[in-house]
Amino acid sequence: SQTIHQWPATLVQPVGSPLSLECTVEGTSNPNLYWYRQAAGRGLQLLFYSVGIGQISSEVPQNLSASRPQDRQFILSSKKLLLSDSGFYLCACYQQGGYGYTFGSGTRLTVV
Amino acid sequence: KNQVEQSPQSLIILEGKNCTLQCNYTVSPFSNLRWYKQDTGRGPVSLTIMTFSENTKSNGRYTATLDADTKQSSLHITASQLSDSASYICVVRSGTYKYIFGTGTRLKVLA
């Protein structure tokens, strides 16, 4: 079955600093990959999804960007963090053929 | 507008009791519906997945129902345990890539 590795688990960054969150997937190939954000007490908001290397779709305009340099690697970035970027970021993977939709363990980002 | 609404927002029950969580959706096109359990500070874990033609699906003490006509789903937890304390999230898949998440029900089971 597929496994998602996401790091770091927690991160505290000052306003205006850059961001790079990494997500890698094992046990599958050519997955659909997703970045979600979960603000405190709120539901999950889809930020980006990718159906292949170099292909990124953005769901909402924001201060963040995503890249997929390899089939099983998905990166969430920002050049300058805002206070409103604080939240819990989840990477997810969808693979056809029975494995379904799997989430990473999440990164809690606090922008100070 | 595609929406998934869950109720109640939060729920407190005593260990050993049963409870039912509700999910109403207005999503089109509908592909499937999943219930996830999310422990605090962790990623969600899938409990059940239901397609349009399925009415009931069980996973241990968890039983999900789906009424595609009324666009409602429920998650019933039997004989609750302390470890059931978590957020339960209803997610509806629309088309191939789009997933609409409910805001979740926060369940606390007390000894």
Q: What is the pLDDT of residue B98?
A: 77
Region B6-15 average pLDDT? 94
Interface of A with B (CB under 8 A): 4, 6, 32, 34, 36, 42-46, 49, 51, 57, 88, 90, 92, 94, 100-106, 108
Please answer yes or no on whether A46 and B99 come within 8 Å at the CB atom: yes
| Min Cα–Cα distance to chain A from B34, Å | 9
Region A2-19 average pLDDT? 93
Q: Is B57 an interface residue toward A (CB < 8 Å)?
A: no
Q: Is the model's pLDDT at B5 over the cut of 80?
A: yes
Do residues A111 and A92 lie in contact, with contact meaning Cβ atoms separated by under 8 Å? no
| pLDDT band for position B11 (cuts 50, 70, 90) | very high
Beta strands A32-38 and A44-52, pairing class: antiparallel
pLDDT digits (tens, 9 = 90+) for A61-107: 678 999 999 999 999 999 999 999 999 999 998 866 555 678 898 99
User: What's the rounded Cα separation, in Å, for the pair B93 and B101?
Assistant: 9
What residues have CB less than 8 Å from B97, skipping those under 6 apart? A32, A49, A51, A57, A94
- What average pLDDT does the structure give for chain A? 88
Q: Which of A45, A54, A55, A41 is nearest to A92 (CA)?
A: A45
Q: What is the pLDDT of residue A101?
A: 73
Q: Is the model's pLDDT at B73 over the cut of 60?
A: yes
Q: What is the pLDDT of residue B101?
A: 85
Among the partner-chain residues B41, B91, B99, the one whose CB lies closest to the CB of A108 is B41
- What average pLDDT does the structure give for chain B? 91
User: What's the rounded Cα separation, in Å, for the pair A74 and A35?
Assistant: 8
Region A16-38 average pLDDT? 91
A interface mutation test: which of B32, B101, B105, B106 has the most A CBs within 10 A?
Answer: B101
Most distant CA pair in chain A: distance in Å? 42
Do residues A59 and A5 lie in contact, with contact meaning Cβ atoms separated by under 8 Å? no
Q: What is the pLDDT of residue A98?
A: 53
Structure tokens at A97: 């053929």
Region A31-59 average pLDDT? 85
Q: What is the pLDDT of residue A81?
A: 95
Please answer yes or no on whether A44 and B46 come within 8 Å at the CB atom: no
